[in-house]
Amino acid sequence: MISRRATVIPHESGLKLSQDDLASYRQAADFLNFSNIDLVCLQHEYGILADPPARIFLELLRRLKIPIITTLHTALREPNTDQRIVMEEIATLSDRLIVMSRQSAEILEEIFHVPASKIDLIPHGIPDLPFTDPNSTRMALERRGRTFC
């Protein structure tokens, strides 16, 4: 069950991640596991989390005992070796993977062998719909007794 509340780790907790400090990632995982947190939402983008820090970050994910839902902002069709290793492990450790395009879902399935049942598609941004004249919509609604300011 997914909770509708969000938990922000308070600054007073003293919990800080140091990019190259493996112990801080282990400490963060322990903190999350023993807090009243239902799940972790991870946002992944290659340019933000690059190797080697990505491999250290994986230690946090490996230690978590709560569900992980990962939103992938990019799915690479031709990842380098490090990118492939990191993405494969993130895909394995995540309970669900959210992508923003059908093409990204296909890449996860074909390149990283992620089962389709683990992938959710939430389109990015506003859907591309054909333009309709707002006056025709207004007139149709006015015929139904709606008024506008």
Instruction: Give me the pLDDT at residue 132, please.
Output: 78
- The domain of 132 spans 11-143
Whether residue 4 is contained in a domain is answered as no
CATH of the domain at 65: 3.40.50
Answer whether residue 6 is part of any domain: no
The predicted pLDDT at position 4 comes to 36
Cα–Cα distance list, 117 to 18, 19, 44, 81, 127 (Å):
35, 33, 20, 25, 24
Where do runs of H (alpha helix) occur along 20-63? 22-33, 53-63
Assess if residue 148 is contained within a domain. Answer: no
* Residue 83: per-residue pLDDT: 87
Task: Return the pLDDT at 105.
Answer: 97
Residues in the chain: 149
* pLDDT by 10s per residue, the chain, length 149: 333 344 445 555 667 777 778 888 888 899 999 988 889 999 888 776 555 667 788 888 999 999 999 999 999 999 988 889 889 999 999 999 999 999 999 999 999 999 999 999 998 777 677 777 877 777 777 787 777 65
* Residue 5 domain-assigned (yes or no): no
pTM summary value: 0.73
CA dist 69 and 40 (Å) reads: 6
Structural domain includes residue 122 = yes
Give, as one character, the DSSP assignment of residue 46.
Answer: T
| pLDDT attached to residue 56 | 80
Q: Where are the alpha helices (DSSP H) in the chain?
A: 22-33, 53-63, 81-93, 102-110, 134-143
**Residue 54 resides in a domain:** yes
- pLDDT recorded at residue 45: 82
Residue 149 lies in a domain: no
User: Rounded to a whole number, what is the largest CA-CA distance in the chain?
Assistant: 66
Query: Number of folded domains in the chain?
Result: 1
